[in-house]
Structure 1
Amino acid sequence: MRTSRAGRAGQYLALIGYLLFLALPFLWLISTAFKSPRELGSLHPTWIPENPTLANFRQAFDEQPLLRAAGNSALVAAATALIAVVIALPLAYVVARRRTPLARAATGWVIVSQAFPLVLVIIPLFLVLKNLRLVDSAPGLVLVYVVWALPFALWMLVGHVRSVPVELEEAAAVDGAGRLRTLVSVTAPLLAPGIAATALFAFITAWNEFFFALVLLKTPEKQTLPVVLTHFIGAEGVADLGPLAAAAFLATLPSLLVFALIQRRITGGMLAGAVKS
Protein backbone atom coordinates (compact mmCIF):
# COMPACT_ATOMS: atom_id res chain seq x y z
CA MET A 1 0.00 0.00 0.00
CA ARG A 2 1.43 3.33 -1.07
CA THR A 3 1.65 6.11 1.45
CA SER A 4 -0.26 9.25 0.49
CA ARG A 5 1.49 12.59 0.26
CA ALA A 6 -0.25 13.81 3.40
CA GLY A 7 0.80 10.69 5.28
CA ARG A 8 4.40 11.01 4.08
CA ALA A 9 4.44 14.69 5.05
CA GLY A 10 3.14 13.73 8.49
CA GLN A 11 5.91 11.16 8.84
CA TYR A 12 8.56 13.71 7.94
CA LEU A 13 7.09 16.24 10.37
CA ALA A 14 7.08 13.64 13.14
CA LEU A 15 10.70 12.74 12.35
CA ILE A 16 11.76 16.40 12.37
CA GLY A 17 9.93 16.94 15.67
CA TYR A 18 11.67 13.92 17.18
CA LEU A 19 15.09 15.12 15.98
CA LEU A 20 14.45 18.55 17.45
CA PHE A 21 13.36 16.94 20.71
CA LEU A 22 16.72 15.14 20.85
CA ALA A 23 18.87 17.98 19.56
CA LEU A 24 17.58 20.98 21.51
CA PRO A 25 18.94 19.91 24.95
CA PHE A 26 22.34 19.19 23.41
CA LEU A 27 22.39 22.53 21.57
CA TRP A 28 21.44 24.32 24.78
CA LEU A 29 24.26 22.48 26.57
CA ILE A 30 26.76 23.71 23.97
CA SER A 31 25.39 27.24 24.24
CA THR A 32 25.69 27.19 28.03
CA ALA A 33 29.25 25.88 27.89
CA PHE A 34 30.43 28.95 25.98
CA LYS A 35 28.52 31.61 27.95
CA SER A 36 30.10 34.02 30.40
CA PRO A 37 28.96 34.14 34.06
CA ARG A 38 27.05 37.34 33.32
CA GLU A 39 25.04 35.64 30.55
CA LEU A 40 24.43 32.57 32.69
CA GLY A 41 22.84 34.75 35.35
CA SER A 42 20.70 36.68 32.88
CA LEU A 43 16.93 36.65 33.29
CA HIS A 44 16.55 36.55 29.50
CA PRO A 45 18.88 33.81 28.23
CA THR A 46 19.66 33.55 24.53
CA TRP A 47 20.55 30.58 22.37
CA ILE A 48 23.68 32.15 20.91
CA PRO A 49 26.25 33.47 23.41
CA GLU A 50 26.85 37.20 23.02
CA ASN A 51 30.51 36.91 24.02
CA PRO A 52 31.64 33.27 23.62
CA THR A 53 34.36 32.28 26.05
CA LEU A 54 36.50 29.25 26.86
CA ALA A 55 36.74 30.20 30.52
CA ASN A 56 34.25 27.51 31.52
CA PHE A 57 36.43 24.80 29.95
CA ARG A 58 39.58 26.09 31.67
CA GLN A 59 37.76 26.29 35.00
CA ALA A 60 36.37 22.77 34.57
CA PHE A 61 39.84 21.30 34.02
CA ASP A 62 41.26 23.34 36.90
CA GLU A 63 38.60 22.27 39.38
CA GLN A 64 38.25 18.56 38.55
CA PRO A 65 40.54 15.79 37.16
CA LEU A 66 38.53 15.34 33.96
CA LEU A 67 41.29 13.70 31.94
CA ARG A 68 41.94 11.05 34.58
CA ALA A 69 38.22 10.39 34.97
CA ALA A 70 37.81 10.15 31.19
CA GLY A 71 40.66 7.65 31.07
CA ASN A 72 38.98 5.55 33.77
CA SER A 73 35.67 5.65 31.88
CA ALA A 74 37.34 4.75 28.58
CA LEU A 75 39.16 1.79 30.13
CA VAL A 76 36.05 0.44 31.84
CA ALA A 77 33.81 1.00 28.79
CA ALA A 78 36.24 -0.59 26.33
CA ALA A 79 36.76 -3.64 28.56
CA THR A 80 32.99 -3.97 29.00
CA ALA A 81 32.32 -3.84 25.26
CA LEU A 82 35.07 -6.35 24.45
CA ILE A 83 34.16 -8.89 27.12
CA ALA A 84 30.40 -8.60 26.51
CA VAL A 85 30.79 -9.27 22.79
CA VAL A 86 33.22 -12.16 23.31
CA ILE A 87 30.79 -13.86 25.71
CA ALA A 88 27.57 -13.00 23.88
CA LEU A 89 28.68 -14.08 20.40
CA PRO A 90 28.95 -17.87 21.03
CA LEU A 91 25.84 -17.77 23.23
CA ALA A 92 23.91 -16.00 20.48
CA TYR A 93 25.09 -18.59 17.97
CA VAL A 94 23.76 -21.44 20.11
CA VAL A 95 20.44 -19.70 20.80
CA ALA A 96 19.94 -18.81 17.12
CA ARG A 97 20.88 -22.16 15.62
CA ARG A 98 19.32 -24.54 18.15
CA ARG A 99 15.60 -23.97 18.72
CA THR A 100 15.50 -25.82 22.05
CA PRO A 101 13.59 -25.08 25.27
CA LEU A 102 16.88 -23.84 26.72
CA ALA A 103 17.22 -21.33 23.89
CA ARG A 104 13.67 -20.09 24.43
CA ALA A 105 14.37 -19.82 28.17
CA ALA A 106 17.46 -17.73 27.40
CA THR A 107 15.36 -15.38 25.28
CA GLY A 108 12.86 -15.06 28.13
CA TRP A 109 15.69 -14.32 30.54
CA VAL A 110 16.80 -11.47 28.29
CA ILE A 111 13.36 -9.87 28.50
CA VAL A 112 12.83 -10.44 32.23
CA SER A 113 16.31 -9.26 33.25
CA GLN A 114 15.68 -5.83 31.75
CA ALA A 115 12.63 -5.33 33.99
CA PHE A 116 14.56 -5.28 37.28
CA PRO A 117 15.28 -1.75 38.58
CA LEU A 118 18.86 -0.96 39.57
CA VAL A 119 17.90 -0.11 43.15
CA LEU A 120 16.58 -3.64 43.64
CA VAL A 121 19.92 -5.31 42.92
CA ILE A 122 22.48 -2.83 44.18
CA ILE A 123 22.59 -4.04 47.82
CA PRO A 124 23.05 -7.78 47.12
CA LEU A 125 25.42 -6.87 44.30
CA PHE A 126 27.51 -4.74 46.65
CA LEU A 127 27.68 -7.59 49.19
CA VAL A 128 28.76 -10.09 46.54
CA LEU A 129 31.50 -7.80 45.26
CA LYS A 130 32.60 -7.10 48.82
CA ASN A 131 33.05 -10.82 49.46
CA LEU A 132 35.04 -11.07 46.22
CA ARG A 133 37.11 -8.02 47.25
CA LEU A 134 36.13 -6.22 44.05
CA VAL A 135 34.48 -3.15 45.60
CA ASP A 136 36.22 0.12 44.71
CA SER A 137 38.03 -1.43 41.75
CA ALA A 138 37.82 -1.17 37.98
CA PRO A 139 37.59 -4.98 37.50
CA GLY A 140 34.59 -5.09 39.82
CA LEU A 141 32.86 -2.33 37.92
CA VAL A 142 33.64 -4.02 34.59
CA LEU A 143 32.17 -7.27 35.91
CA VAL A 144 28.95 -5.48 36.84
CA TYR A 145 28.71 -3.72 33.49
CA VAL A 146 29.34 -6.94 31.55
CA VAL A 147 26.59 -8.76 33.42
CA TRP A 148 24.24 -5.83 32.88
CA ALA A 149 25.07 -5.53 29.16
CA LEU A 150 25.00 -9.25 28.33
CA PRO A 151 21.21 -9.67 27.93
CA PHE A 152 20.92 -6.81 25.45
CA ALA A 153 24.08 -7.88 23.62
CA LEU A 154 22.75 -11.44 23.36
CA TRP A 155 19.38 -10.24 22.09
CA MET A 156 21.02 -8.11 19.39
CA LEU A 157 23.46 -10.77 18.20
CA VAL A 158 20.81 -13.50 18.00
CA GLY A 159 19.03 -11.56 15.28
CA HIS A 160 22.28 -11.03 13.38
CA VAL A 161 23.25 -14.71 13.58
CA ARG A 162 19.85 -15.70 12.18
CA SER A 163 20.47 -13.38 9.22
CA VAL A 164 23.46 -15.50 8.17
CA PRO A 165 22.40 -18.34 5.81
CA VAL A 166 22.78 -21.76 7.35
CA GLU A 167 23.98 -23.08 3.99
CA LEU A 168 27.31 -21.28 4.42
CA GLU A 169 27.95 -23.11 7.67
CA GLU A 170 26.90 -26.40 6.16
CA ALA A 171 29.38 -25.88 3.32
CA ALA A 172 32.13 -25.20 5.87
CA ALA A 173 31.18 -28.37 7.73
CA VAL A 174 31.45 -30.37 4.50
CA ASP A 175 34.98 -29.00 4.10
CA GLY A 176 35.82 -30.35 7.55
CA ALA A 177 35.48 -27.21 9.70
CA GLY A 178 34.30 -27.70 13.27
CA ARG A 179 31.75 -25.57 15.11
CA LEU A 180 34.33 -23.22 16.61
CA ARG A 181 36.23 -22.76 13.35
CA THR A 182 32.97 -22.16 11.49
CA LEU A 183 31.95 -19.52 13.98
CA VAL A 184 35.33 -17.77 13.83
CA SER A 185 36.10 -18.09 10.11
CA VAL A 186 32.67 -18.02 8.46
CA THR A 187 29.98 -16.58 10.71
CA ALA A 188 31.92 -13.93 12.66
CA PRO A 189 33.15 -11.98 9.57
CA LEU A 190 29.59 -11.78 8.27
CA LEU A 191 28.47 -10.50 11.66
CA ALA A 192 30.91 -7.57 11.66
CA PRO A 193 28.16 -4.89 11.44
CA GLY A 194 26.17 -6.54 14.20
CA ILE A 195 29.25 -6.97 16.38
CA ALA A 196 30.15 -3.30 15.84
CA ALA A 197 26.63 -2.20 16.78
CA THR A 198 26.57 -4.40 19.89
CA ALA A 199 30.01 -3.27 21.01
CA LEU A 200 29.09 0.37 20.52
CA PHE A 201 25.92 0.09 22.59
CA ALA A 202 27.81 -1.72 25.35
CA PHE A 203 30.52 0.95 25.25
CA ILE A 204 28.07 3.86 25.41
CA THR A 205 26.09 2.20 28.20
CA ALA A 206 29.22 1.74 30.31
CA TRP A 207 30.56 5.20 29.42
CA ASN A 208 27.37 6.95 30.55
CA GLU A 209 26.51 4.76 33.55
CA PHE A 210 26.40 6.62 36.85
CA PHE A 211 24.58 4.69 39.58
CA PHE A 212 26.81 1.60 39.85
CA ALA A 213 29.96 3.72 39.57
CA LEU A 214 28.74 6.04 42.34
CA VAL A 215 28.04 3.18 44.75
CA LEU A 216 30.99 0.92 43.97
CA LEU A 217 33.84 3.41 43.52
CA LYS A 218 34.94 5.40 46.56
CA THR A 219 38.56 6.28 45.82
CA PRO A 220 38.65 9.63 43.93
CA GLU A 221 41.47 8.44 41.65
CA LYS A 222 39.30 5.55 40.40
CA GLN A 223 36.07 7.43 39.76
CA THR A 224 34.62 7.59 36.27
CA LEU A 225 33.60 10.69 34.37
CA PRO A 226 29.83 10.68 35.18
CA VAL A 227 30.65 10.58 38.91
CA VAL A 228 33.21 13.38 38.63
CA LEU A 229 30.64 15.56 36.87
CA THR A 230 28.55 15.58 40.05
CA HIS A 231 31.41 17.35 41.84
CA PHE A 232 30.41 20.54 40.06
CA ILE A 233 27.25 20.53 42.20
CA GLY A 234 27.70 22.02 45.65
CA ALA A 235 26.58 20.59 48.97
CA GLU A 236 23.38 22.63 48.83
CA GLY A 237 22.53 21.44 45.34
CA VAL A 238 23.69 24.62 43.60
CA ALA A 239 25.44 23.77 40.33
CA ASP A 240 28.44 25.60 38.92
CA LEU A 241 26.56 25.76 35.64
CA GLY A 242 29.21 27.00 33.23
CA PRO A 243 31.99 24.49 34.08
CA LEU A 244 29.41 21.72 34.47
CA ALA A 245 28.04 22.36 30.97
CA ALA A 246 31.56 22.50 29.54
CA ALA A 247 32.56 19.22 31.19
CA ALA A 248 29.29 17.52 30.19
CA PHE A 249 29.78 18.65 26.59
CA LEU A 250 33.27 17.13 26.52
CA ALA A 251 31.92 13.94 28.08
CA THR A 252 29.47 13.45 25.20
CA LEU A 253 32.07 13.85 22.44
CA PRO A 254 33.64 10.33 22.55
CA SER A 255 30.30 8.61 22.07
CA LEU A 256 29.36 10.96 19.22
CA LEU A 257 32.71 10.50 17.48
CA VAL A 258 32.64 6.70 17.72
CA PHE A 259 29.06 6.61 16.47
CA ALA A 260 29.87 8.92 13.56
CA LEU A 261 32.82 6.78 12.48
CA ILE A 262 30.90 3.51 12.24
CA GLN A 263 27.39 4.82 11.63
CA ARG A 264 26.88 3.08 8.28
CA ARG A 265 28.05 -0.29 9.56
CA ILE A 266 25.82 0.01 12.61
CA THR A 267 22.73 0.97 10.57
CA GLY A 268 23.22 -1.91 8.15
CA GLY A 269 23.86 -4.37 10.97
CA MET A 270 20.82 -3.32 12.98
CA LEU A 271 18.51 -3.56 9.96
CA ALA A 272 19.90 -6.98 9.03
CA GLY A 273 19.35 -8.26 12.54
CA ALA A 274 15.88 -6.78 12.82
CA VAL A 275 14.68 -8.47 9.66
CA LYS A 276 15.56 -11.94 10.92
CA SER A 277 14.97 -11.56 14.67
Structure 2
Amino acid sequence: MTTPATTSAVGRNPFSRPLQYLALLVYMCFLAFPLLFLLSTAFKTPRELRSPDAGILPQSLTWENFTSAIEKADLYTAAGNSLLVAVTTTLIVTLVSLPAAYALVRFRTRLRAVATGWILLSQVFPFILIIIPLFLLMRNIGLVDTLLGLVIVYAVWALPFSLWMLQGYVAAIPVELEEAGAVDGAGRLRTLAKIVLPLLAPGIVATSLFTFINSWNEFFFALVLIQDPDMQTLPLALARFVGAEGQVQLGQLAAAALLACIPSLVFFLLIQKRLTAGLLSGAVKG
Protein backbone atom coordinates (compact mmCIF):
# COMPACT_ATOMS: atom_id res chain seq x y z
CA MET A 1 0.00 0.00 0.00
CA THR A 2 1.40 3.40 -0.98
CA THR A 3 1.33 6.05 1.72
CA PRO A 4 1.07 9.81 0.99
CA ALA A 5 4.66 10.28 2.17
CA THR A 6 5.86 7.62 -0.27
CA THR A 7 3.84 9.17 -3.09
CA SER A 8 5.33 12.61 -2.41
CA ALA A 9 8.83 11.15 -2.26
CA VAL A 10 8.32 9.34 -5.58
CA GLY A 11 6.83 12.40 -7.23
CA ARG A 12 9.67 14.65 -6.09
CA ASN A 13 11.84 16.11 -8.83
CA PRO A 14 14.96 13.89 -9.09
CA PHE A 15 17.03 16.93 -10.08
CA SER A 16 16.14 19.01 -7.01
CA ARG A 17 18.90 17.63 -4.77
CA PRO A 18 21.68 17.93 -7.40
CA LEU A 19 20.52 21.47 -8.18
CA GLN A 20 20.68 22.34 -4.50
CA TYR A 21 24.24 21.04 -4.24
CA LEU A 22 25.17 22.91 -7.42
CA ALA A 23 23.76 26.16 -6.07
CA LEU A 24 25.63 25.62 -2.80
CA LEU A 25 28.86 24.95 -4.70
CA VAL A 26 28.45 28.13 -6.77
CA TYR A 27 27.79 30.14 -3.62
CA MET A 28 30.86 28.71 -1.90
CA CYS A 29 33.01 29.52 -4.93
CA PHE A 30 31.63 33.06 -4.93
CA LEU A 31 32.59 33.50 -1.28
CA ALA A 32 35.98 31.82 -1.63
CA PHE A 33 37.10 33.64 -4.79
CA PRO A 34 38.42 36.80 -3.04
CA LEU A 35 40.46 34.70 -0.63
CA LEU A 36 41.82 32.50 -3.42
CA PHE A 37 42.67 35.57 -5.51
CA LEU A 38 44.44 37.08 -2.49
CA LEU A 39 46.37 33.84 -1.99
CA SER A 40 47.39 33.72 -5.66
CA THR A 41 48.52 37.37 -5.66
CA ALA A 42 50.57 36.92 -2.49
CA PHE A 43 52.73 34.23 -4.13
CA LYS A 44 53.32 36.06 -7.43
CA THR A 45 56.60 37.73 -8.25
CA PRO A 46 56.71 41.50 -8.88
CA ARG A 47 57.34 40.77 -12.57
CA GLU A 48 54.16 38.69 -12.82
CA LEU A 49 52.14 41.37 -11.07
CA ARG A 50 53.31 44.00 -13.57
CA SER A 51 52.72 41.79 -16.59
CA PRO A 52 49.31 42.26 -18.28
CA ASP A 53 49.50 38.69 -19.66
CA ALA A 54 49.89 37.01 -16.27
CA GLY A 55 47.29 34.37 -15.43
CA ILE A 56 45.30 33.93 -12.27
CA LEU A 57 47.64 31.28 -10.84
CA PRO A 58 51.29 32.18 -10.14
CA GLN A 59 53.88 30.63 -12.44
CA SER A 60 56.26 29.99 -9.53
CA LEU A 61 55.72 30.29 -5.79
CA THR A 62 57.78 32.89 -3.98
CA TRP A 63 57.89 33.91 -0.33
CA GLU A 64 59.48 37.27 -1.09
CA ASN A 65 56.23 39.20 -0.61
CA PHE A 66 55.73 37.74 2.86
CA THR A 67 59.24 38.48 4.10
CA SER A 68 59.18 41.99 2.63
CA ALA A 69 55.78 42.74 4.14
CA ILE A 70 56.80 41.56 7.62
CA GLU A 71 60.03 43.56 7.58
CA LYS A 72 58.59 46.74 6.09
CA ALA A 73 55.37 47.12 8.08
CA ASP A 74 56.53 45.52 11.34
CA LEU A 75 53.57 43.16 11.29
CA TYR A 76 54.58 41.39 14.49
CA THR A 77 54.13 44.53 16.60
CA ALA A 78 50.97 45.55 14.78
CA ALA A 79 49.45 42.08 15.13
CA GLY A 80 50.28 42.03 18.85
CA ASN A 81 48.60 45.40 19.33
CA SER A 82 45.52 44.30 17.39
CA LEU A 83 45.29 41.03 19.32
CA LEU A 84 45.57 42.82 22.67
CA VAL A 85 42.92 45.39 21.71
CA ALA A 86 40.53 42.80 20.21
CA VAL A 87 40.75 40.34 23.11
CA THR A 88 40.42 43.04 25.79
CA THR A 89 37.48 44.65 23.99
CA THR A 90 35.75 41.27 23.62
CA LEU A 91 36.13 40.49 27.33
CA ILE A 92 34.85 43.91 28.42
CA VAL A 93 31.87 43.89 26.05
CA THR A 94 30.88 40.34 27.01
CA LEU A 95 31.16 40.93 30.76
CA VAL A 96 29.13 44.15 30.55
CA SER A 97 26.48 43.15 28.01
CA LEU A 98 25.68 39.76 29.58
CA PRO A 99 24.22 40.98 32.92
CA ALA A 100 22.80 44.09 31.24
CA ALA A 101 20.89 42.02 28.67
CA TYR A 102 19.53 39.74 31.38
CA ALA A 103 18.39 42.70 33.48
CA LEU A 104 16.71 44.42 30.53
CA VAL A 105 14.73 41.31 29.64
CA ARG A 106 13.80 40.00 33.08
CA PHE A 107 13.20 43.26 35.00
CA ARG A 108 10.43 45.45 33.56
CA THR A 109 11.36 49.01 34.55
CA ARG A 110 11.32 52.45 32.95
CA LEU A 111 15.05 52.15 32.43
CA ARG A 112 14.39 49.33 29.96
CA ALA A 113 12.68 51.64 27.48
CA VAL A 114 15.45 54.23 27.81
CA ALA A 115 18.14 51.61 27.30
CA THR A 116 16.38 50.15 24.27
CA GLY A 117 16.08 53.62 22.74
CA TRP A 118 19.78 54.25 23.38
CA ILE A 119 20.68 50.97 21.67
CA LEU A 120 18.68 51.80 18.56
CA LEU A 121 19.78 55.45 18.45
CA SER A 122 23.46 54.58 18.78
CA GLN A 123 23.30 52.48 15.61
CA VAL A 124 22.02 55.40 13.54
CA PHE A 125 24.96 57.79 13.87
CA PRO A 126 27.80 57.33 11.35
CA PHE A 127 31.42 57.43 12.46
CA ILE A 128 32.15 60.77 10.83
CA LEU A 129 29.69 62.67 13.06
CA ILE A 130 31.40 61.75 16.31
CA ILE A 131 35.04 61.40 15.34
CA ILE A 132 36.04 65.06 15.92
CA PRO A 133 34.48 65.46 19.39
CA LEU A 134 35.72 61.97 20.24
CA PHE A 135 39.29 62.90 19.30
CA LEU A 136 39.11 66.13 21.35
CA LEU A 137 37.75 64.24 24.34
CA MET A 138 40.37 61.51 24.16
CA ARG A 139 43.13 64.11 23.77
CA ASN A 140 41.96 66.05 26.82
CA ILE A 141 42.04 62.96 29.03
CA GLY A 142 45.38 61.79 27.61
CA LEU A 143 44.21 58.64 25.81
CA VAL A 144 45.31 59.51 22.27
CA ASP A 145 48.09 57.22 21.02
CA THR A 146 47.25 54.59 23.65
CA LEU A 147 45.81 51.11 23.25
CA LEU A 148 43.66 51.73 26.34
CA GLY A 149 41.90 54.58 24.59
CA LEU A 150 41.30 52.40 21.56
CA VAL A 151 39.87 49.63 23.74
CA ILE A 152 37.47 52.07 25.43
CA VAL A 153 36.24 53.41 22.08
CA TYR A 154 35.80 49.93 20.59
CA ALA A 155 33.99 48.66 23.69
CA VAL A 156 31.57 51.60 23.78
CA TRP A 157 30.89 51.30 20.06
CA ALA A 158 30.34 47.52 20.09
CA LEU A 159 28.33 47.39 23.32
CA PRO A 160 24.89 48.46 21.96
CA PHE A 161 24.75 45.88 19.18
CA SER A 162 26.14 43.14 21.43
CA LEU A 163 23.55 44.00 24.05
CA TRP A 164 20.84 43.85 21.41
CA MET A 165 22.05 40.43 20.27
CA LEU A 166 22.12 38.98 23.78
CA GLN A 167 18.65 40.33 24.53
CA GLY A 168 17.21 38.00 21.92
CA TYR A 169 18.97 34.98 23.42
CA VAL A 170 17.85 35.84 26.96
CA ALA A 171 14.25 36.39 25.83
CA ALA A 172 14.26 32.94 24.17
CA ILE A 173 14.93 31.22 27.52
CA PRO A 174 11.62 30.34 29.22
CA VAL A 175 11.31 32.03 32.58
CA GLU A 176 9.66 28.84 33.85
CA LEU A 177 13.08 27.19 33.94
CA GLU A 178 14.31 29.77 36.44
CA GLU A 179 11.11 29.44 38.45
CA ALA A 180 11.58 25.66 38.55
CA GLY A 181 15.10 26.15 39.86
CA ALA A 182 13.81 28.50 42.56
CA VAL A 183 11.19 25.93 43.56
CA ASP A 184 13.94 23.33 43.92
CA GLY A 185 15.73 25.62 46.36
CA ALA A 186 18.34 27.18 44.07
CA GLY A 187 19.21 30.81 44.70
CA ARG A 188 19.42 33.52 42.07
CA LEU A 189 23.16 33.13 41.45
CA ARG A 190 22.99 29.34 41.29
CA THR A 191 20.05 29.52 38.88
CA LEU A 192 21.99 31.87 36.64
CA ALA A 193 25.12 29.71 36.75
CA LYS A 194 23.49 26.30 36.32
CA ILE A 195 20.52 27.06 34.07
CA VAL A 196 20.79 30.42 32.31
CA LEU A 197 24.48 30.52 31.40
CA PRO A 198 24.57 27.11 29.65
CA LEU A 199 21.56 28.10 27.58
CA LEU A 200 23.16 31.45 26.78
CA ALA A 201 26.39 29.85 25.54
CA PRO A 202 25.48 30.25 21.82
CA GLY A 203 24.64 33.93 22.36
CA ILE A 204 27.83 34.58 24.29
CA VAL A 205 29.90 32.91 21.59
CA ALA A 206 28.16 34.81 18.79
CA THR A 207 28.59 38.12 20.61
CA SER A 208 32.26 37.42 21.30
CA LEU A 209 32.86 36.50 17.67
CA PHE A 210 31.15 39.66 16.42
CA THR A 211 33.09 41.89 18.83
CA PHE A 212 36.46 40.27 18.17
CA ILE A 213 36.22 40.45 14.37
CA ASN A 214 35.01 44.06 14.41
CA SER A 215 37.78 45.13 16.78
CA TRP A 216 40.39 43.22 14.79
CA ASN A 217 39.38 44.78 11.45
CA GLU A 218 38.48 48.32 12.58
CA PHE A 219 40.41 51.02 10.76
CA PHE A 220 38.74 54.43 11.01
CA PHE A 221 38.95 55.02 14.78
CA ALA A 222 42.50 53.67 14.86
CA LEU A 223 43.52 55.97 12.00
CA VAL A 224 42.36 59.06 13.92
CA LEU A 225 43.42 58.11 17.44
CA ILE A 226 46.77 56.39 16.76
CA GLN A 227 49.75 58.26 15.28
CA ASP A 228 52.60 56.49 17.07
CA PRO A 229 54.02 53.72 14.80
CA ASP A 230 54.67 51.54 17.85
CA MET A 231 50.96 51.70 18.79
CA GLN A 232 49.53 51.03 15.33
CA THR A 233 47.15 48.15 14.77
CA LEU A 234 47.17 45.72 11.87
CA PRO A 235 44.77 47.66 9.58
CA LEU A 236 47.01 50.71 9.93
CA ALA A 237 50.03 48.62 9.04
CA LEU A 238 48.30 47.38 5.89
CA ALA A 239 47.64 50.97 4.82
CA ARG A 240 51.40 51.52 4.57
CA PHE A 241 51.49 49.51 1.35
CA VAL A 242 49.50 52.21 -0.44
CA GLY A 243 51.79 55.05 -1.50
CA ALA A 244 51.07 58.75 -1.32
CA GLU A 245 50.44 58.86 -5.08
CA GLY A 246 48.07 55.90 -5.02
CA GLN A 247 50.71 53.36 -6.04
CA VAL A 248 49.94 50.03 -4.38
CA GLN A 249 52.57 47.41 -3.60
CA LEU A 250 50.11 44.70 -4.52
CA GLY A 251 52.17 41.63 -3.74
CA GLN A 252 53.23 42.77 -0.27
CA LEU A 253 49.74 44.07 0.47
CA ALA A 254 48.19 40.72 -0.49
CA ALA A 255 50.70 38.82 1.63
CA ALA A 256 50.14 41.06 4.65
CA ALA A 257 46.35 40.92 4.24
CA LEU A 258 46.51 37.13 4.02
CA LEU A 259 48.49 36.96 7.26
CA ALA A 260 46.02 39.36 8.87
CA CYS A 261 43.13 37.01 8.03
CA ILE A 262 44.66 34.04 9.82
CA PRO A 263 43.88 35.05 13.45
CA SER A 264 40.22 35.76 12.62
CA LEU A 265 39.86 32.42 10.86
CA VAL A 266 41.56 30.55 13.69
CA PHE A 267 39.38 32.31 16.27
CA PHE A 268 36.27 31.43 14.29
CA LEU A 269 37.27 27.77 13.96
CA LEU A 270 37.98 27.48 17.68
CA ILE A 271 34.83 29.24 18.76
CA GLN A 272 32.64 27.38 16.27
CA LYS A 273 33.12 24.16 18.25
CA ARG A 274 32.00 25.89 21.42
CA LEU A 275 29.01 27.33 19.58
CA THR A 276 27.91 23.84 18.56
CA ALA A 277 28.50 22.53 22.08
CA GLY A 278 26.48 25.40 23.50
CA LEU A 279 23.58 24.69 21.17
CA LEU A 280 23.53 21.01 22.16
CA SER A 281 23.83 21.88 25.85
CA GLY A 282 20.94 24.30 25.55
CA ALA A 283 18.79 21.66 23.84
CA VAL A 284 19.47 19.13 26.61
CA LYS A 285 18.92 21.63 29.41
CA GLY A 286 15.70 22.92 27.86
Same fold? TM cut 0.5: yes
Change (3 A) 1:49 1:106: same
Structure 2 unaligned blocks of 5 or more: 1-7
Question: 2:178, 2:195 within 8 Å by CA — same for their partners in 1?
Answer: yes
Q: AA paired with 2:50? A: G
Q: AA paired with 1:247? A: A
> CA offset at residue 44 of structure 1?
2.5
Aligned counterpart, 1:154: 163
Question: 1:161, 1:191 within 8 Å by CA — same for their partners in 2?
Answer: yes
Give the alignment partner of residue 124 of structure 1, picking from 128, 133, 136.
Answer: 133
Give the alignment partner of residue 182 of structure 1, picking from 164, 168, 191.
Answer: 191
Note the alpha carbon deviations across 1:186-219, whole angstroms, 9 max, x for none. Answer: 3123322221121111011000000001100111
Matches within 5 A, 1:211-226: 211-226=220-235
Q: What is the DSSP-based 3-state SS (H/G/I as helix, E as strand, rest coil) of the residue aligned with 2:132? A: helix
Instruction: Find the aligned partners of 1:257 and 1:229 in 2 and give their Cα distance.
Output: 20
Aligned counterpart, 1:140: 149
Aligned counterpart, 2:103: 94
Instruction: Find the aligned partners of 2:124 and 2:16 in 1 and give their Cα distance.
Output: 35
Give the alignment partner of residue 60 of structure 2, picking from 41, 47, 51.
Answer: 51
Change (3 A) 1:126 1:160: same
Question: 2:205, 2:274 within 8 Å by CA — same for their partners in 1?
Answer: yes
- TM-score normalised by the chain length of structure 2: 0.85
Instruction: Find the aligned partners of 1:101 and 1:19 in 2 and give their Cα distance.
Output: 46
Identity of aligned residues (%): 58
Aligned counterpart, 2:3: none
Question: 1:160, 1:272 within 8 Å by CA — same for their partners in 2?
Answer: no
Q: How many residues end up aligned between the 2 structures? A: 272
Q: AA paired with 1:62? A: E
Change (3 A) 1:113 1:15: farther
Give the alignment partner of residue 266 of structure 2, picking from 257, 266, 275.
Answer: 257
Cα RMSD after superposing both structures = 2.7
> CA offset at residue 127 of structure 1?
1.6
Give the alignment partner of residue 230 of structure 1, picking from 198, 219, 239.
Answer: 239
Question: 2:97, 2:159 within 8 Å by CA — same for their partners in 1?
Answer: yes
Aligned counterpart, 1:24: 33
- TM-score normalised by the chain length of structure 1: 0.88
Question: 1:73, 1:224 within 8 Å by CA — same for their partners in 2?
Answer: yes
